[in-house]
Amino acid sequence: MKFLKKFYDWVLHWAYTSYAVPALFILSFAESAFLPIMPEVILFPLCLSRHKKAFYYAFVCSISSVLGGLFGYLIGLEFWSIGQKIVFHYMTHEKFESVRLTYHNHEAWVIFMAALTPVPYKIFTIAAGFFRGDILVFTIASILGRSAKFFILVAPFYYFGPGIKSRIEKSFHIIGVSVIIAALIVILIIKLVKR
């Protein structure tokens, strides 16, 4: 677990550099359109380091994520040959057809739930463009869903920041093992969904 502790310390130091917010913005933008790395990788350590700025970090994530979602929409709308490679990396053609039917019947709710939950949001941003979804509905649902997600996630850091940090550092090995197990479960779920 020493490598995780070193990584943790390295990410925490970013909160005190001029690159912290731009890195968070770029990662959040890219994750919403094409990148498989969640912005929480940077968001949580930043909130641990500077818990009073947690809501500011959530705001940055929300804005950049919605902009990234609009870029994902553009990929689906104009560059489906590229977008389908990203989408079908996460799901089969049959599941995609099911998503298409659900999307057309419940457009706002589908985007809102995809923006709020830990499912790969990029699938839905690209698919929304491919499905020629209503851009205004897409944008409003994305703003509401992504903002709710990030502000809910950072609230404990804001209110209980120093206590959370000390607990994490006291039980780092348990948390490290849990993170590795969770990552393996996510990989397994993605492989099962692709079938």
Instruction: Check whether 3 has a pLDDT greater than 80.
Output: no
pLDDT band at 139 (very low <50, low <70, confident <90, very high): very high
Give the residue, 147 or 6, on which the prediction is more confident: 147
d(CA 153, CA 55): 10
pLDDT one-digit tens code per residue, 82-106: 777 777 887 788 888 887 888 888 9
d(CA 76, CA 19): 30
- Matching residue, tokens 């995609």: 96
Instruction: Check whether 1 has a pLDDT greater than 60.
Output: no
Give the highest mean pLDDT range of 11-25, 63-77, 159-173. 63-77
d(CA 136, CA 150): 21
Instruction: Check whether 54 has a pLDDT greater than 90.
Output: yes
Say what the pLDDT of residue 81 is.
Answer: 79
Global pTM?
A: 0.76
**CA dist 38 → 61, 162, 195 (Å):** 11, 24, 23
